[in-house]
Amino acid sequence: MEAVADKTVKVIDGNITESQLYAWKNKFGKLIKVEGENDEGEPRFAYFRKPTMATRAAVLQTSKADEFKALEVLFKNCYLGGDEEVEQDDDLKLSMITAFADLTQPKEAKAKKI
C-alpha cells in the first residue's frame, strides 16, 4: 500500500496560496501586504514588493508630469498579486497603491559633518 501525500493547498488573504507567498518572499525578500475594502465593505488584499531604485527613479520622473501615472508605474512594478478586484476596481486600486506608497517612503536620515 502506497502512502498518499496531502495535496491540500492553503489559500490565504487575497486568494493566494501560502506557497506563492513563500516563493515571493524568497525572490523579493520583505513584502508588504495592504488591506482595503471594496464598495460593499468586504476586505480585499494586495501584496507588493519593495520598490527598487530603478522603480523609484521611474516614479519620480513620471510624477513630474502626472502623479496618477506615477502611481500606476509604482503599481505595475511592485504589485505581486492579491484579490482580482484590486486590479479591476480603480478606486480600490488607488487606495491600495496610495497606502503602499505612503509606507515605502524613504526613512529620514541625519547627516553630521565630522
On whether residue 12 sits in a domain, the answer given is no
Where in the sequence is the domain holding 35, given as residue range(s)? 24-103
Number of domains making up the chain: 1
On whether residue 13 sits in a domain, the answer given is no
On whether residue 7 sits in a domain, the answer given is no
User: Per-residue confidence at 1, pLDDT binned at 50, 70, 90?
Assistant: very low
CA distance 47 to 13: 10
Residue 37's CATH number:
3.30.2220.10
Tell me how long the chain is: 114
On whether residue 111 sits in a domain, the answer given is no
pLDDT tens digit sequence for 29-39: 999 999 999 99
pLDDT tens digit sequence for 88-99: 999 999 999 999
On whether residue 108 sits in a domain, the answer given is no
pLDDT tens digit sequence for 42-79: 999 999 999 999 999 999 999 999 999 999 999 999 99
Contacts of 49 (CB under 8 A, 6+ apart): 24, 28, 29, 30, 31, 32, 78, 80
From residue 72, alpha-carbon distances to 25, 43, 61, 63, 96 in Å are: 23, 22, 13, 10, 11
